[in-house]
Structure 1
């Protein structure tokens, strides 16, 4: 990954979060991810308020679209003014590059290029999409946008109402006294020296950094050094960092990436139980729940841990569809499946399945009283996840 891609990664992350929330727990989220990974999404087109692309399915190619709200003229003015005060952002725009500043709303005048979740809507030429509900094809488009944002952030700029070139011209006009001439007509990434000289010559003076260079310390050369990490801890941190680097470089790191997932990753390691007390203090989660989440992490990664803590909210339509799918597969046996919050529960058999944040269904078995323990076998198909729960239940009788 290039430096530019890394610096724009927060923009892709913000889009992923908003897009995932906009799907409202639909099973199409996971199915769309599979389509996107299989290259079903063709060339993506953008226009103000709309991102669209042809998406190839099994029997036909559908025209999927995602609709986002455009930024107002006042919001674009605020963003341009903030960029004009950043010399690096101005230089990037002059060079036909998207400045990394726009990836962070905190440094972009509070303006977020990623749209809010409640402003994202879907449409498609398929029957589901014609009712303006998320379908497999529009979900695949959303995943493809997330994948391509780090390399092509102008996707969201155009959809939010302004091209990268128009934004560059707007910022250039705001630079006090600068007249760098027309934008470069040369190869992307080149900058004329005269333009940079003009920008530098007309920049307002920058305030000196607030540094205390005369800091006084009472330590002397003969004082012992401050204690550092133990050798065992350093070795553990090095091993953990190397393992994380391998998964990131291999592209196999599982979502969601958050602080809780990092804590569970450490707890699920061979010596992780030693850190339970610290994890409980940091998260406020009871030890028994953390132990169950450790098991969920080992079975299903970060998404499995999150599903153990709480089922991902799902609409009643999704839950009814999942219940009908399980009944149709005859995986239920003689039990009755009830909808319990966002989970499907068979109290007779002592099994349950829950939707996870990655769109898969996670199996659970009744451990004792109302305590559910995660089981292996998470799957996009709720019927298969239910079968996995029954297999685990048969292998692990109810404890009393």
Structure 2
């Protein structure tokens, strides 16, 4: 699955969403909000995509409603994908197949909804009348931006998760040979996909033996059970991704043993290994979960910053505090030095220095627990603004 291969899905959504706004001025205003990071975490459920959207010192709950696909439509889509070895390999390896973006290769089923099937709602006055507002328009633009990387947004809203679709396709190909896996455009075949396909091909019949020529058979103890097919596929994909990062020189330091464990936990299905990770590291589960979020936002350095701020000199902390104060409006709460971090207690935000020299934003979660937020930056003032944006989009948990 690549950004380019799923571009048609994002393009189809953009066109339908644009037509659904019916020339409203909110379309352009929503684009500016989305580009400024106003849309927080996007949630999907059958028939609905929603997210908190921060604008003008207030956060509104915006939603986009769209029709679910019917059971016969899902059956048609699954049957078409089951006939495509590349799509089968993608799905059993927990990837969304590129062919799902093209209705011509998906049994005529379009994952992107028609424009007349899209409606809007929001907690703001305009949205309560079910007209498109700046906030629901921002959500629509954010969906378009994230579709190429997270096509499951539309799948879930159309009534089926990617995991359920993969299970449906696996049922159709169980015990059958899906055929050979075609190479990618660069001439390679992914090892994880090959293994996934092999696991779903019928077992080969054992070779007939002439027992008259066999005099003695000796058996050793039965071998230990091997790793699960899913784990092997995940390990293969992970090794390939790490090798690619090393070749490209994009591996982020410090990638030590703890960060490597968090990297596995932050991957798809990584939480299956949470108990083993807690036993191996002796780090409490809530801390591991917070470090997983930190890793997703800032890689190994983000995970380490979540565990603890990197020690900084008084001079560095004072210079950062002065930069934050200079960038803030008059009358806001005071920024204080809290150990090796800078904290605005009244706003519930904090920034910490990380081991890579960047500043990492955090927001108060509950009690004295801090959760990492996106927006790590070399500039402490910009990191502080990222923390405030995340605070506005994330209600305080008690």
TM-score (norm 1): 0.46
